[in-house]
Structure 1
């Protein structure tokens, strides 16, 4: 046998051996990619649930699944990497489509909308002065009034907050806030009246300047009443409201949708509004997007500054050994398109299961 023939035989043997190895690797990897296909099937199902229209998106566990929508993009990206390494073209194509759709849905979190981010002053330079065009805002769900009052007041002082919205206020929280000095910093308040359909407590609104058109119940709603008041900034008057619709738990079937639908009626109100609170909904819920309509916007979704997850806060697993990061963005600052809210940030408050959400209001010239 010639040397050339021996070389051909050796190459052919190596190729056969390489093919055998590939087949063995493929067989070993098949269970893994079967699991990954099932994972992507679940991702596709959850993404399909996002497209259920308002009025139907509150059924059973649909709102809970949709609340975690941004995480579906992360899962799809991880599966895409595995598919590329394993050369699974079909699986990779499904992942790419899912990631592209997610980017489209959440583009406002990646790139600010036109006019959404103004040249806001540094937070440290802000002063409590309603005569200018800026105001620092803060909202917090106090978890049945268990939030640390001293820490709330400290945040108000250090962040130069001029408008504070609280939810689930009950027990001795108001007295503790007063002892901590809140009424010195924000002497004007409107507390919602107690009803038999409160959601964990009443809502409260505090401001640094006197409020006009004050009301303890802005509109009829089948959840905690919305306290509201209007404050004059520069040459414009802005009305604020502290909101807390029902959570979308199965036992609240129908109440979640109806609460959000009630708030959406403010679209026809002629006054300039900023709504702060625990909406128990994310940008991905059709009911929340319907609440916004063509008039209101969500500050978080327009700022291009990524997500500001607020729930759960201060959660621990394994007897307090592992902290659970906030996973969903259900606390919002919703406002008219003609004004701007930027410089968003979240803050942990002891005793609460929500992070506080802060932002800077610019009412414009």
Structure 2
């Protein structure tokens, strides 16, 4: 029993150490999957630790604690600076406009969709005019923008649930992955084109798309858009750019690198290839930089060296930034264990608050929403 427990500790320690490999070294099967499970190794190490206390084996206890801490090395960022970020969140919430919906009851999907239909019947303002009204509110130097990303599972995600979420969370930018043309039409039939009238879709290429193409929607009239803003061996990365002020722009991109099962090298290269979007030019006169925000199912977590290499290129992860606990997004059908696969990341110039994951019907990922404030 004693040596068996030490074997468990050693296996857990070596397993956790896989997350410390150099970037790109994780591009070998089955490393991406083993590394994804590293944050869950606290379960066997705690079991060993409790057994060691009962057995009064203090050396074994120390070994189990060390292995457990190693497995949680990259999880610590989800909790640090909690008090500071909590204060920021409360400040933003106090300064925001109160919702017309009573605080004690959230609107149902049917009520939200009825609101869209009522708006269509009673107003003679076009979607473009409505978006232009919002433009003045959303593109100032202190703009606050609500964003959302979701993997739609081969286009099976429930369109009504997506539109209801956009309406209830006041989403300004929506990024979707694994889309089909049928789902896009269903979204429009349920009012998405009224709420977010501007969009950019990636090309529908079954030979490269991993489950479907990507798309991005926005409430305001963009100054430019691209079908694919960066070249990676996966689905196109569509992007939309809007002005922040006289000197800066902000670009939103919807990304979905290939999963490891479609090739570990393409998986790693796709994740790290997104760092090209961080190569924005600084404004020497004003000292400002354009901002890039990537939203999507990046098929990786903080435990993966390839993903950490992407962050080191100049991105901040919203989930890490708010430090209020990991918002895990896969799989949707299990309350536990879940892992972090979906992300909202941005270059410097924004502050994140209110990062949440929410179930959307008929897809295997949770939606991830966040509020970003442009500094």
**The two structures share one fold, judged by TM-score above 0.5:** yes
1:202-241 → structure 2 map (5 Å cutoff):
202-233=213-244, 236-241=248-253
Q: TM-score, normalised by structure 2?
A: 0.81
Please, which of 255, 265, 285 is the counterpart of residue 243 of structure 1? 255
Structure 2: distance between partners of 1:124 and 1:177? 27
**Alignment partner of 1:130 is 2:138:** yes
Distance 1:50 1:131, change over 3 A: closer
> Which of the two has higher C-alpha Rg?
1
Structure 1 residue runs of 5 or longer lacking an equivalent are 1-30, 315-322
Q: Is this contact kept in 2: 1:313–1:326, CA < 8 A?
A: no
Structure 2: distance between partners of 1:334 and 1:162? 16
**Alignment partner of 1:181 is 2:191:** yes
Q: TM-score, normalised by structure 1?
A: 0.83
Query: Which residue number corresponds to residue 120 of structure 1?
Result: 92
Structure 2: distance between partners of 1:234 and 1:35? 63
**Alignment partner of 1:281 is 2:294:** no
1:50-199 → structure 2 map (5 Å cutoff):
50-112=19-81, 118=88, 119-121=91-93, 125=98, 129-131=137-139, 133-195=143-205, 196-199=207-210
Distance 1:210 1:114, change over 3 A: farther
Q: Is this contact kept in 1: 2:255–2:298, CA < 8 A?
A: yes
**Alignment partner of 1:45 is 2:14:** yes
Query: Which residue number corresponds to residue 123 of structure 2?
Result: none
Query: Which residue number corresponds to residue 311 of structure 1?
Result: 330
SS state of the match for residue 98, structure 1? helix
Please, which of 341, 359, 362 is the counterpart of residue 348 of structure 1? 359
- CA-based RMSD of the aligned residues comes to 2.3
SS state of the match for residue 234, structure 2? coil
Which stretch of the first structure deviates more once superposed, 67-76 or 353-362?
67-76
Q: CA deviation at 1:34?
A: 4.0
Structure 2 residue runs of 5 or longer lacking an equivalent are 101-133, 282-289
Q: CA deviation at 1:48?
A: 1.6
Q: CA deviation at 1:104?
A: 4.0
Which stretch of the first structure deviates more once superposed, 108-117 or 92-101?
108-117
Structure 2: distance between partners of 1:35 and 1:125? 58
How many equivalent pairs are there? 324
Query: Which residue number corresponds to residue 22 of structure 1?
Result: none
Distance 1:94 1:124, change over 3 A: farther
